[in-house]
Amino acid sequence: MKNTQKNLQVFLQGVSFIVGFISIAAGMAAFQHTREPERYLVSALIMVCSGVLWLLSAITPKFYLRKRDYILILVTLVLGSIIGLFNTFLVCGGECGFGTGACTLHLGYPGRWLEMSRCMAGSNGEIWWVWTMRGMWRVDYPSFAADIVFWCGAGIIFSFFRNLVNSKSFSTKIKE
């Protein structure tokens, strides 16, 4: 049992190391976006800060993630992804034919990863009244991956601050 637990710990440290680098790289890439700076700036800060925490959990023996930390990260990932779907963005333009316009509804935060396209007749104000579930749903996988990195990063930041408040020292847990 001890050997299995040691292998799991090594595996999780490796995953933390990889996720840390991915998170920092994604955060640096998000700093480069000039449109919608408020959305990308928040995303970039969360990703870079969480990337540092992921690397600390992989490298430093003083800071490691316990089972409840991973549970908090997963809960944050699931809840954040679901709540993020309430952030909608509607784009209308182009022609579908027969005088109707093409509209695309984008869902998700920070990455708009779920999209639904449909040909619509009417103005933007009328679209909400005639919107139905019929249409072409599509997942934007790069944005979905960015959402996963973002919400896992938010989870590790929550976990870090929860552990910081509950401990007497600056590091989350000191092994003895």
List pLDDT tens digits, range 44-96. 899 999 999 999 888 887 777 888 888 999 999 999 999 988 888 877 766 66
Same domain, 63 and 102: no
Same domain, 68 and 96: no
Query: Which pLDDT does position 50 carry in this prediction?
Result: 92
Residue 90: alpha-carbon gap to chain centroid:
21
Domain count, the chain: 2
Query: Which pLDDT does position 157 carry in this prediction?
Result: 92
Same domain, 62 and 6: yes
Same domain, 155 and 137: no
In a domain, 174, yes or no: no
3-state secondary structure of 28: helix
pLDDT at position 128 over 70: no
Instruction: Tell me which residue range forms the domain holding 37.
Output: 2-77+150-166
Asked whether the CA dihedral 169, 173, 175, 176 is positive or negative, the reply is positive
In a domain, 175, yes or no: no
In a domain, 99, yes or no: yes
In a domain, 137, yes or no: yes
Same domain, 137 and 103: yes
Same domain, 24 and 62: yes
pLDDT at position 30 over 50: yes
- What is the distance between the alpha carbons of residues 112 and 85, in angstroms, rounded to a whole number? 8
Task: Describe the strand order of the beta sheet including 114-120 as a list of residue ranges.
Answer: 88-97, 100-107, 114-120, 136-139
Same domain, 111 and 137: yes
Query: Which pLDDT does position 32 carry in this prediction?
Result: 82
Query: Which pLDDT does position 130 carry in this prediction?
Result: 46
C-alpha distances (whole Å) from 144 to each of 4, 16, 79, 111, 118 are 32, 19, 14, 7, 21
Asked whether the CA dihedral 138, 142, 143, 148 is positive or negative, the reply is positive
Task: Please state the rounded mean pLDDT for residues 99-128.
Answer: 69
Contact yes or no for 136/119 (Cβ under 8 A): no
Q: Is the peptide bond before 61 cis (omega within 30 degrees of 0)?
A: no
Same domain, 12 and 70: yes
Question: pTM of the prediction?
Answer: 0.75
3-state secondary structure of 129: helix
Nearest to 124 by CA among 93, 97, 94: 93
